[in-house]
Structure 1
Amino acid sequence: MITIQAKLGFQSKEDEQAVADLMRRWSSCVRFAYNRLLEGKSRNELKRDLQGVFNLNSRYVDDAIMKAKSVLESCKEREENPGKVIFGGRNLFEKLKKRHINGNEYKKLQQEWQERRKGNLYSRGDKSKKGNLNTRIEIDENGAVLRINVGERKYVYARIQAGCKKGKSREELLEAISTCQEAYSVELKLKNGKIYAYFTIEENFPEVLITKENGIIGIDINAYPDHIAWSETDENGNLASYGKIPMPELVNGSSDKREYYRWQYAHEIVRLAEEKKKAIAIERLDIKDKGKRGDFSGRKSRRIRHSFSYRSLIEKIKVLSKRKGIQVIEVNPAYTSVIGMLKYAPQYMISKDVAAAYVIARRGLGLKEQIPEGYMTILKELDADELEELKEHVRKTVNNKQLKKRQLKELDKAIKLIQSLESGTGKASGPLDGTSLGACSESCNLWRVLKVAVVTPLSPEKVLRDISVLKGVLHSGQVGRPVRARVPASWGRGYGSA
């Protein structure tokens, strides 16, 4: 979908007032239809009654019923109580209830509440009517205007004040929409006393020609440090090339500036895939509301949301890929960073982020990661008592409170899993080496234990930066003794400095 936002300019106050009155009646119609739907009324029953009650034509009423129905269905999908929906926004409603807000602050909130509740109008497009019958874009010698049906055979014309952005005039896009004879939807919203229009048309994408049959480029977007790591594989999943794209412009600056650069970086990724004739694999992430702990640790979720709008960048990559006919594959993000760090970073001597992108690319091909035999040797010899010793070592040696808390938490999870494996109630996996299709899907939890068992003894006081120390562990199955940290003797395995 392509959406264009523009402010409307009216020839007179009377015309603007007529449109505002239409928006008020349509918004009331939506709320009335929603309550009747809760009572079990059907669409046909409502359509007959609402035209006379709110003095709206059948198309406006049909769109109001559709909007009310979508709110109801959305509420049911989120498993919320449909009877407690507040049109205008619950957060704003709760603020207005607070007694300590008064004066101009209260008046601003009250105006915003009224505009959200009463200042809406939605008109669906219709291809049989060559666009949109109630709200139609027309082009004259002065530019684009919006013809709004405010009553029976009565129209108001509003100038579309669309400016230029990213080197292409919005008026050119509006002119193309008005002449293509395709259905487009128009939504009007009242904000700060001004009426804005949102024009939406469905985009027709070409056939997907670049698929994963030639290989995949995996993308790993990192909030800190700010960059995109990418890894290219051939059709068999072998590493072909890799690189990083720094994104310093997304750390700060205005929202328009960050939006511009998000498009630029998305174009760069898609150009790379187009040149190499490879599909794109990305992580399928569900970023929760900011401030709430959801996926990841909560902290990473908030950092992604605040730093550079992860979801926005991903969506731009997906849209641009569709326009170029490039296949985009979304994969499960679980343990991509851990597997990349432990398995592929030491093998190819690449960074953890590039290794994570490589894991993402391989998952896009349908490959499952098996735990190498050297690491399986460590897991087989590991028991909960050794992890308890390591916990005590972390308590004594790690000064950073946050790092200590995180490591102890990971160790606790690892101990519980090891105990469940010893009792036979947990997930187990046999000795594994290499990688094949569909194998070892049950061993994901073991990667977490492996990270704790290998990385924490090597670097208990700080984040492990030198991945090369893992190369010997990967092949020998022995955890070396770190230079600057004394660990329990059992972790040395008879080896010297790492």
Structure 2
Amino acid sequence: MIVIQAKLIFLTQQDKQIVLDLMKRWSSCMRFAYKRLLEGYDRKTLKRDLQGTFDLNSRYVDDAIMKARSTLESSKELGSNPKKVIFGGRKLFKKLQKRHINGKAYKKLKIRWHEKRKGNLYSRGDKSKKGNLNTRIEVRKNGTFLRINVGERKYVYAKIQAGWKKNKNREEILQEIAKSNMPYSVELKLKNGNIYAYFAIEEEYPEIKITKEKGAIGIDINAYPDNISWAETNEKGNLISYGNMSMPELASGDKDKREYFRWQYAHEIVKIAKEKGKAIVIEELEIKDKGKRGDFSGRKSRRIRHNFSYKSLLSKIKTLARRERIEVTEVNPSYTSIIGMLKYAPQYMITKDIAAAYVIARRGLGLQEKIPDNYIKFLNTLTEKELEELKEHIKNTVKNRHLKKKHLREIDKAIEFLQSLESESERVLKPLDGTSFSTYDFWQVLKVAVVTPFSPEKVPRDFSTLKGLLIQGKWGDP
């Protein structure tokens, strides 16, 4: 998606006031629709009722409902309470509640909050209507204008000021969009008393040519140290090459600087995939855990904040890859690091990050991971006393894994199940009957059993110690 920002210059103050009133009604309509969606109302009922209540046409109301639904779904994805969403911004709202802010500072904050809460308008593009029916770009001899529908056959025109001199080509792009009849969405926002328009155009991507037919490149993004690890496979999932890319710029600096470097790193990854003729496999990143306080604070906040940044980076990789006709597959990232560190890091003498990228690539090819035979044999040698010690180690990791104590019973069953595996056909892991225990949780049991004994304090970065156990089946004192 391409987004172009522009400032709107109105011919008269009266025209501006009419548009401000429209934005206020639309914002109220969207908030009202959000409350009704929480109560279980359907789109058709809302669309019929809201037109008369807020004096908006059918398209404006439909767009308000769509935005409300989008906000509701986003809230659920982040794991927050949809009933506690604050339109206008929670951060600004909390600042307004502080008693030590008063006078001009308080007034300024209140204006900003009201602008964010009431100064919005969104209009979707429509291909059948040659662009956008409610907010249409019109090219005239004296400039480029935005025609805004403010009522039945009533329009207000505002001149589009598309940026400073260095961005003078923005207006030319908008003119080309208007002439091509491409569908484009327009969002109006009120900031510091001025109205800004954001034009969004959905990109039409060319047909995919580079697929997973010849293999894939798996991408693993790590918060600390900040780096991208990649691993190339052939069509059978065998490791061919790998690499690592440091990203120190994403750890600090202003927003624009980080955004610039995210694009640069995305270009580098896509360049590698294009040169090697391989598809790209990336992680699906979902940020749900907000911590105990619900504000992303505490021990996990660092990782979560990085996930926001890396989700943006992965989105850019997808966009650039599709422009270059490269297939992009998203996979579940669960336990890719654990599988990589236990199975492939010792085998190929690579870092656990590159090993995780390799697992991601294989998962993108639809390959399943089996527990190595020698790990099974190792678990079978554990005595009752050693199994009890293993369970104690698992209990200590339960808090870190966000598991409830009831899952310990399922972990016990998992250990039993692992010890009973004998034939190779059973090595493809399956869920335990009658439990909610995930297949990937077996790898967590292995991690505690194999890694913890030689590195109890923290997970090491060098897994060469496991090579003898993994390949030759040799181990010392359990």
Partner residue, 2:311: 311
Alpha-carbon deviations, 1:106-133, whole Å to 9, x = none? 3233223321232111222232331123
Equivalents in 1 of 2:470, 2:220: separation in Å? Answer: 23
- Pick closer, same or farther for the CA change 1:293–1:303 going to 2, 3 Å: farther
Structure 1 residue 323: Cα displacement: 2.0
Greater shift after overlay, 67-76 or 8-17?
67-76
Matches within 5 A, 1:66-465: 66-67=66-67, 87-89=87-89, 92-93=92-93, 96-97=96-97, 99=99, 101-140=101-140, 144-151=144-151, 152-163=153-164, 169-288=169-288, 290-291=290-291, 299=299, 302-303=302-303, 305-306=305-306, 309-383=309-383, 385-386=385-386, 389=389, 419-421=412-414, 430-431=421-422, 439-442=428-431, 444-461=440-457, 463-465=459-461
Q: Deviations over 1:267-317 (max 9, x none)?
A: 1111211221111111222123654599xx985663252487011001111
**Cα offset for 1:477?**
2.9
Deviation of residue 369 (structure 1)?
1.0
| Structure-2 separation of matches of 1:142 and 1:234 | 58
What is the identity, as a one-letter code, of the residue corresponding to 2:121? L
Normalised by the length of structure 2, the TM-score is 0.82
Q: Deviations over 1:446-465 (max 9, x none)?
A: 32222222222223345423
Give the Cα–Cα distance (whole angstroms) in 1 for the partners of residues 190 and 206 of structure 2.
Answer: 36
| Structure 2 CA distance for partners of 1:127 and 1:416, relative to 1, 3 Å | closer
**Count of aligned pairs:** 463
For the Cα contact (< 8 Å) 1:184–1:200, is it kept in 2? yes
Instruction: Measure, in 2, the Cα distance between the counterparts of 1:293 and 1:45.
Output: 35
Q: Name 1:474's counterpart in structure 2.
A: 470
Contact 1:375 1:473 in 2 (8 A): yes
What secondary structure does 2:368 align onto? strand
Alpha-carbon contact 1:226-1:246 (below 8 Å) kept:
yes
Q: Are 1:233 and 1:240, in contact at CA under 8 Å, matched by a contact in 2?
A: yes
For 1:483, the equivalent position in structure 2 comes to none
Whether the aligned pair in 2 keeps the contact of 1:250 and 1:308 (CA below 8 Å) is no
* CA distance, structure 2, for counterparts of residue 419 and residue 298 of structure 1: 31
Per-residue deviation, residues 177-214 of structure 1 (Å, max 9, x unmatched): 22220221111011232212111222222222221111
Q: Which moved more, 1:217-226 or 1:85-94?
A: 85-94
* Alignment check: 8 A CA contact 2:77 2:287 kept: no
The structure number with the bigger radius of gyration is: 1
Provide the residue aligned with 2:436 in structure 1: none
CA shift at 1:241, angstroms? 0.9
Deviates more, 1:31-40 or 1:380-389: 31-40
1:26 aligned to 2:19? Answer: no
Change (3 A) 1:31 1:227: closer
Shift of 1:341: 1.3
In structure 2, distance between residues paired with 1:218 and 1:239 = 11
- Deviation for aligned residue 1:88: 3.5
Q: Secondary structure at the match of 2:428?
A: coil
Asked whether the 8 Å contact 2:136–2:148 carries over to 1, the reply is yes
Please report how far the alpha carbon of residue 381 of structure 1 lies from its aligned counterpart in structure 2 after TM superposition. Answer: 1.6
Given the superposition, is the C-alpha separation of residues 92 and 383 from structure 1 closer, same or farther in structure 2, using an over 3 Å criterion?
A: farther
Q: Distance in 2 between matches of 1:70 and 1:348?
A: 45
Q: Tell me how large the CA RMSD over aligned residues is.
A: 4.0
Percent identity between the two aligned chains? 62
Separation of aligned partners in 2, 1:246 and 1:350: 16
TM (norm. structure 1) is 0.79
Question: What is the rounded CA distance, in whole Å, between the counterparts of 1:19 and 1:437 in structure 2?
Answer: 67
Unaligned regions of 5+ residues in structure 2, if any?
432-438
Inter-partner Cα distance in structure 2 for 1:4 and 1:269: 26
Cα distance in 2, alignment partners of residues 61 and 308 from structure 1: 31
Distance in 2 (alpha carbons) for counterparts of 1:74 and 1:306: 18
SS at match of 1:155: strand
**Distance (Å, rounded) in 1 between the aligned partners of 2:307 and 2:36:** 43
Distance 1:421 1:227, change over 3 A: closer
Q: List per-residue Cα deviations over 1:218-275 (Å, max 9, x = no partner).
A: 0011111111111110000111111112212212111111101111111111121122
Distance 1:198 1:381, change over 3 A: same
Give 3-state SS (helix, strand or coil) of 1:22's partner.
Answer: helix
Aligned residue identity for 2:327? Q
The Cα shift of 1:98 comes to 5.3
Deviation of residue 160 (structure 1)? 2.6
Structure 1 position 171, deviation (Å): 2.7
Partner Cα separation in structure 2 for residue 45 and residue 338 of structure 1:
48
In structure 1, how many angstroms separate the alpha carbons of the residues matched to 2:428 and 2:2?
A: 41
Q: 1: CA distance between counterparts of 2:9 and 2:70?
A: 30
CA gap 1:41/1:264 in 2 versus in 1, 3 angstroms: closer
Tell me the SS of whatever aligns to 2:286.
coil
Taking a change above 3 Å as real, the CA distance of residues 388 and 409 of structure 1, as seen in their structure-2 partners, is: farther
| Distance (Å, rounded) in 1 between the aligned partners of 2:206 and 2:87 | 39
CA contact (8 A) 2:371 2:428 kept: no
CA contact (8 A) 1:163 1:170 kept: no
Partner of 1:486: none
The question of whether the paired residues in 1 share the 8 Å contact of 2:281 and 2:364 is answered with yes
